[in-house]
Amino acid sequence: MVIEVGVQGLLADRYQLQELLGRGAMGEVWRATDQILERPVAVKLLRTDQAADAERRLEAQTAASLNHPNVVGMYDFGSDRDQLYLPMEFVDGWSLAQDRSLRGRLKPREAVTIAAQMAAGLGAAHRHKVIHRDVKPANVMLTAERTVKIADFGIARFADAAASTLTATGKILGTADYLAPERALGRPAQPASDVYSLGCVLYQLLTGRAPFGGPTSLAALQQHVSAAPAPPVLLRPEIPQPLSDYVLSLLAKDPAHRPTAEQAADWLAAHQHTPTPAVPDHTSPMPAPSPLRPRPRRAVRPAPRRTRLRAARPNWRPEPLSAVPLSSCSPRPEPSEHPSTRATPPLRPPLLRHRQPSPPHLPTPTRPQPSPLPPHLPRRRPRKSTTITRSNRTRPSMAPGKARDGSRTIEPS
């Protein structure tokens, strides 16, 4: 009887499968109990189509020999009824991918601490000639004490293996967002490939996004090969400039220009306590407002009452001009040189609103009539008024009607 992946039962008469923890491209991970040592373990069941690969048996045995505090320990390796299994250390925690989805980007100091532990675990694997080939946040576990443990060495390869990155079916093993350029071109994996993936993880922890992305996996692979990533300090100004430059060195296109995992672990451990630069003033938080205090009330002055001007002497009447003697009128003062020496003009009586009384009625003077003429004198005939026009003008001549003195007379028409 062959134990299929996903079927609960007793494996190799020792490991009791209890709960499915996860499923990946290489198989499934189950939570189990070691019946002999009575301890919880995590058992990874590899798929059946890979059980006949003898090379994978040797690689799994080599991965099981790794012993480092930042690597998930592997306790055993075996096959039961043609089913390969890998019992490993059970980590009571969560993955880095889950932590990032809940918290987003991390503080620079915390991100550097996690990356330094990852680099230390990869350096231990590289010393044993083991390459992980699938470094990503989902394969990094965090304990309650924030201790990093790299898991899932299921697709690990020897550093001196001549096998290509491609499988027999031409499929690239790994995740496109964290795949090194040489692996995207189909070249064999090497320790520098894990360092490149480490740089992608650190870039994402600092900025909140992967260095390259696209609508498809092929678009992301093309950017890994030819595009240059944006400096992290441009995406997040609070990142120290030396840290931003070192992340770019981990993402170098040429594997020879990248530091080793051990060098990266030493540099990150030395700079994980570097103080974070101050945030620019335009992004600094505003100070908290002071508590509101009651404003003192002002004394309100009453508005002045509008009084109506009245004459001081309501029964006063101006005297007629004829009754005022000329001697009482003071002459106009002469202008003096200084304003203080000028004479003060006399006060005038206030203007009254009532109408002045009209003067008494006087008889209208009549034109004297001429005295009549005596009856014995003849009356003078009034002259007719004539209008001289061009038609009734006459040329001067000696015709009758001419006066003796030479003046011309005009006969009435």
Neighbour tally for 395: CB within 10 Å? 6
Q: How far apart are CA 207 and CA 212, in angstroms?
A: 12
- 44 annotated ligand binder: yes
- Reported residue count of the chain is 413
403 Cβ contact list (under 8 Å, min separation 6)? 409
Do residues 74 and 91 lie in contact, with contact meaning Cβ atoms separated by under 8 Å? no
pLDDT tens digits for 297-338? Answer: 666 666 666 655 555 555 656 555 555 555 555 555 555 555
Alpha-carbon distance 264 to 199, whole Å?
10
What angle is formed at CA 150 by the lines to CA 58 and CA 42, rounded to 5 degrees?
Answer: 70
Please give the single-letter amino acid code of residue 291: P
Assess whether 194 carries a catalytic annotation. no
Could you give the C-alpha distances from 83 to 6, 232, 322, 389, in angstroms and in order? Answer: 12, 45, 145, 151
Amino acid 65: pLDDT? 72
Strand, coil or helix: what is 94?
strand
User: Nearest-CA neighbor of 153 among 24, 343, 290?
Assistant: 24
* Catalytically annotated residue among 134, 152, 177, 194: 134
Domains and CATH numbers, the chain: 10-89 (3.30.200.20), 93-275 (1.10.510.10)
Q: Pick the range with the lowest mean pLDDT from 22-31, 47-56, 82-91.
A: 47-56
Answer yes or no: is pLDDT of 288 > 70.
no
H or E segment to which residue 192 belongs: helix 191-207
The answer to whether residues 274 and 109 touch, using CB atoms and an 8 Å cutoff, is: yes
Q: Please state which of the ranges 7-11, 249-253, 312-316 shows the lowest mean pLDDT.
A: 312-316
> What does the alpha-carbon distance between residue 19 and residue 32 come to, in Å, rounded to a whole number?
7
Mapped onto helix, strand or coil, the DSSP state of residue 69 is coil
> Of 36-40, 136-140, 308-312, which gets the smallest average pLDDT?
308-312
